[in-house]
Structure formats: C-alpha cells, structure tokens
Amino acid sequence: MKPPLNVCVVGVGAVGIEILRVLKERRFPIRALKVLARSARPLSLDGESLRVEAISPEAFQGQDLVLFAGTEGEKGAAVTYAREAIRRGALVIDNGADFRMDPKVPLVIPEINPEDAKRHEGMIANPNCSTIQMVMALAPVHRRFKIRRVIVSTYQAVSGAGSKAIEALEAQTEATVRKVALPPSDPLPQTIIQNVFPEIGSFQELGYTSEEWKMVRETQKILHDDQMAITATAVRVPVVSAHSESVYFEIEHPAALQDLKGLWRQTPGVKLVEEPSYPMPVEAVHRDEVFIGRVRQDPFIKNAFSCWVVSDNLRKGAALNAVQIAELFLTP
C-alpha cells in the first residue's frame, strides 16, 4: 500500500483507544483517519478531539486499512463488517478472536512470521494477547532448539476483558477501602479485588477455557508446529494492565541457560531482565517490549526451563502488534 493511507479504526474500547495512540506515536502515514463505533459520539483522547462515526457498510468506502479492535467475550464487529470493508478494497487487520483459526486468515506476529502476512485474502488476524507475549519468548528458542512441550500458567490483567472490567476493578477497590458492599463483578465472572480466579473466556472441551485453547492453537498456528504439546491455565488477577506468565518448556536439542539468555538478548521486541531483578506488570505497562526474567533450568529434568514473561496486553498484546502488521504493507 502506498502511503499516506486512509485508515479506519473500529471500536473505541481499551484496545481501540490504544490503537489510536500507537498509530500516532509511531507516526503511521495517515491521509485521513476514521473512527467507527456502534453509535456516533465525540471522543476526547489525550487532549485531542476525535469524531466517532456510527458503523455501516458504506462507512468503509475508500478505506485502505481497517483495524478492528475486536471484543473480549462476544463476537467482534469484524464478523459483521470485515467482508464489507474487504469488498471495498481495504486490508483488514482484526484483533478479535473470530477469524484467527480460519485457514485462509494469516495469524501474524511481525517479528516471528511476517511471511505469513503476505498470503492474506483481505484479512490478517492479530493473535490473542496472552499468546503473543508467550510466542515472542518461545519463537527464537523454538527455531534454534525446537520446543517440544510448554506448560504455562498466566496472571492476566483485567484490561484484557475491556475497559468495563477496569472500571469494575476500580469500583471494587473503592468499595473495599470504604468497607461497603462490593459492586457487581460484571463483566468479569467473579469478584477480582483481593482475589484471583482461573476462568477467562468460556469452558470448552476437556475442561479447558477458550482462553487456554487460544494459547494452544494460536501458538501452533503461528509457529507452524502442530506437534508442540502445549497446556495452559489462564488466571485473572487484580492488575489493571500487563499480563504475566509463568512459562515452562522443554527443548529437543540441548542448550545451556546462557544459550537461551544469549538468544533473548538479541531478539528484537524482547528484553531480558537479569536476576535479582525481574519484570512486573506495574513496570511493563505502557511499554512496547516483551520482558523475560527468572530464567531457570529445571533442577531435575534435562533441557527443561522456566521463565517469567510480562508484557502490556493492550500494547504488544493487541494494539502495537496490529499496527506492526499494517506496517509490513507500507511500501515506500
């Protein structure tokens, strides 16, 4: 696509807002910016006034690039409107979950499988936030030492469930301090203040949740490896933004701890944090990198390692990755 572009962002929730920020920060070459949502309304973003227009098939006329922010839980707007945008000539990048496993839709992390993006038929899917940061850590190791097996437990921020979940955490925090009854947990399935719970998404086959299956199947798709044995436990924690993951993996070809650290030190988009420091959500928020720390060998099992991976789920986990996909198509 020849810049500058007519760019359209669909959705002004937590991810949509972050996409608008990232486009501006990265000076994405925009001719005209259009922001769409269910209904028209004014929007103030970081001191700037934007006009949000009501979504309709015709609104996509003349757009070069359409970024769907997606939704957590329900179906995203892309289910209804992506075809309309593509038909009118736009490239669609969808952050929703609806098309990620469609064989005709590439699922792309630009640092890892940019070549997949070229095989699109009008739409490219952005992976799930918890998948992106894990794969950012695992992909360089997989290429060099072949990962056979992954066991991951997550510590996921409420912003992954949208801006209403952030408001719910805030309201519950205030109620706790005031010692009054907690407001409803909605849109989260349980109280989150001073609590953690292992339910993200809906329960699916074998008792795993949809979020846990995303980490399995999306990782296999991005890495083109159906043989990688992955199992996940996805847990919500009372953190506003930035997911943490306790990732355990086994490799086929022997490696020393220093080999892994050496790899991560030279991996673009990744930042290795050395002991006794380690990454944490409060420090990773608003940052673009995927932070890796607590890298350890299993004390008993050969070629097995643990690490602690933290990244802002709204940035690299969503908005940044989506904009980076778009940047793959900017021909100077």
Pairing of strands 5-10, 30-37: parallel
Q: Which of 240, 255, 328, 330 binds a second copy (CB under 8 A)?
A: 240
User: Among 73, 62, 56, 75, which residue's Cα sits nearest to residue 33?
Assistant: 62
**Catalytic status, residue 243:** yes
Q: Which is nearer to a second copy, 55 or 307 (CB)?
A: 307
Stretch that binds a second copy, among 49-57, 132-140, 298-306, 318-326 (CB under 8 A): 298-306
Would you call 312 helix, strand, or coil by DSSP?
coil
Two tokens at 82? 């992506």
**Separation between Cα atoms, residue 130 and residue 132, nearest integer Å:** 6
- Active-site position among 8, 142, 243, 307: 243
Would you call 126 helix, strand, or coil by DSSP?
coil
The answer to whether 318 touches 128, Cβ cutoff 8 Å, is no
Stretch that binds a second copy, among 71-79, 114-122, 130-138, 192-200 (CB under 8 A): 192-200
**Site size for a second copy, by CB under 8 A?**
52
Q: Which is nearer to a second copy, 32 or 301 (CB)?
A: 301
**Separation between Cα atoms, residue 189 and residue 191, nearest integer Å:** 7
Closest separation between CB of residue 173 and a second copy, Å? 6
The one-letter code for the residue type at 224 is H
Quick one: CA torsion of 314, 320, 321, 323, rounded to 10 degrees? 130
Contact flag: residue 293 with a second copy (CB under 8 A): yes
Stretch that binds a second copy, among 58-66, 81-89, 125-133, 227-235 (CB under 8 A): 227-235
Residues 113-152 touching a second copy, rule: CB under 8 A, are 149, 151
Contact flag: residue 239 with a second copy (CB under 8 A): yes
Contact flag: residue 303 with a second copy (CB under 8 A): no
Two tokens at 308? 């602690």
**Separation between Cα atoms, residue 233 and residue 245, nearest integer Å:** 10
Binding region for a second copy (CB under 8 A): 149, 151, 153, 155, 169, 173-174, 176-177, 190-191, 194-199, 203, 206-208, 216, 229-231, 233, 235, 237-240, 244, 246, 248, 275-276, 278, 280-282, 293-301, 304, 306, 308
